[in-house]
Amino acid sequence: MLLVSNGCSHTAGAELEYPQQGDCYSKAWPKLLADSLGYDHTNLAMSGASVARIIRTTYEFIYEWICLGKSTKDLLAIIMWPGIYRTEVYAEQLHNYNFDNNWTPIIIGNDNHYKKRFSPSLYYYYKSWATNITGYQGSCDFYIAVTNLQNLLHRYGIRYLFLDATNSGLLTQHSNLDCYRIHIDKRYYEGFDDSENCYINLCNKTNQKISKYSVDSGFNSHYDEDAQVWYAKHIKKIIHKRNIL
């Protein structure tokens, strides 16, 4: 059995060993959870990842798994969704920034960083996107993306659990979004539309500590190894509570 996880820095285990560390899969909660279940483990997460990247890389993984002739019944997918003010762009010319297979993450608030590293055309693309994206559009895109991946996993009989890293920007009470939310299978989505039940808020409420390396870097947003252990146990309880296995 294989546990395949995907998400952003909170799933990748960022800054567990040194400041500005992008990932530490061996100490992050997905690996700890897999070990406790007696599963093998693959972590697809990347710092700065968007919902778009999660969809893309999970599709790629499932395709490669099937091409190898392996059974999708042997998979357990754990997806931790990031906030909505992120996207990614395919940029073949970009070779000096965090990317995978020529895709680079784009996050609102990194203006100075992107101005130094992006080509002028890519930087203007970012500026236009950041200026025009709204909470409503981002929320529409989010719910459609979640349903998209949910349906793929259901199609192949892959057991899964969805979680939220944060609900930043998500309009959970907007009535015009009901036509999207209604299609999401809440049986396999812990904390659906509940901002208090996302990773960051749960860590804060249980007094988990920020990693000293995240403090040193100035991000002050990535939790330490003890928090990884706590969250792995927390998810294991959810898996059993929801009879996912």
Residues of the domain holding 120? 93-132
The domain total for the chain is: 2
Residue 47 binned pLDDT confidence (cut-offs 50, 70, 90): very high
Greater model confidence, 92 or 96: 92
107 and 166 inside one domain: no
78 and 100 inside one domain: no
- Output the pTM of the full model: 0.96
127 and 67 inside one domain: no
Q: What average pLDDT does range 98-120 have in this prediction?
A: 88
Q: What average pLDDT does range 131-140 have in this prediction?
A: 96
16 and 102 inside one domain: no
> What is the pLDDT at residue 148?
98
Residue in 32, 13, 11, 33 with CA at minimum distance from that of residue 23: 13
Cα–Cα dist 156/245, whole Å: 15
Boundary (domain end) residue, out of 112, 132, 152: 132
Cα–Cα dist 90/55, whole Å: 15
Q: What percent of the chain has pLDDT over 90?
A: 89
> What is the pLDDT at residue 160?
98
CA angle (13 as vertex; 133, 83 as ends), nearest 5 = 15
Residue 97 binned pLDDT confidence (cut-offs 50, 70, 90): low
145 and 124 inside one domain: no
Task: Find the CATH number of the domain harbouring 189.
Answer: 3.40.50.1110
Distance from the first to the final alpha carbon of the chain: 11
Contacts of 80 (CB under 8 A, 6+ apart): 5, 6, 7, 8, 10, 11, 45, 162, 163, 164, 165, 199
pLDDT at 95 exceeding the cut of 80: no
Strand partners for 89: 104
38 and 122 inside one domain: no
Residue 167 binned pLDDT confidence (cut-offs 50, 70, 90): confident
Residue 207 binned pLDDT confidence (cut-offs 50, 70, 90): very high
149 and 187 inside one domain: yes
> What is the pLDDT at residue 94?
65
Evaluate whether 161 touches 244 at the Cβ level (below 8 Å): yes
Q: What average pLDDT does range 115-144 have in this prediction?
A: 94
Question: What is the number of other CB atoms lying within 10 angstroms of the CB of residue 165?
Answer: 19
63 and 169 inside one domain: yes
148, burial (CB in 10 Å: exposed 0-12, middle 13-18, buried 19+): middle
Tokens coding 113:
């960083």
107 and 200 inside one domain: no
Residue 154 binned pLDDT confidence (cut-offs 50, 70, 90): very high
For residue range 16-32, what is the model confidence (pLDDT) as tens digits? 999 999 999 999 999 99
152 and 187 inside one domain: yes
45 and 109 inside one domain: no
For residue range 185-204, what is the model confidence (pLDDT) as tens digits? 999 999 999 989 999 999 99
56 and 151 inside one domain: yes
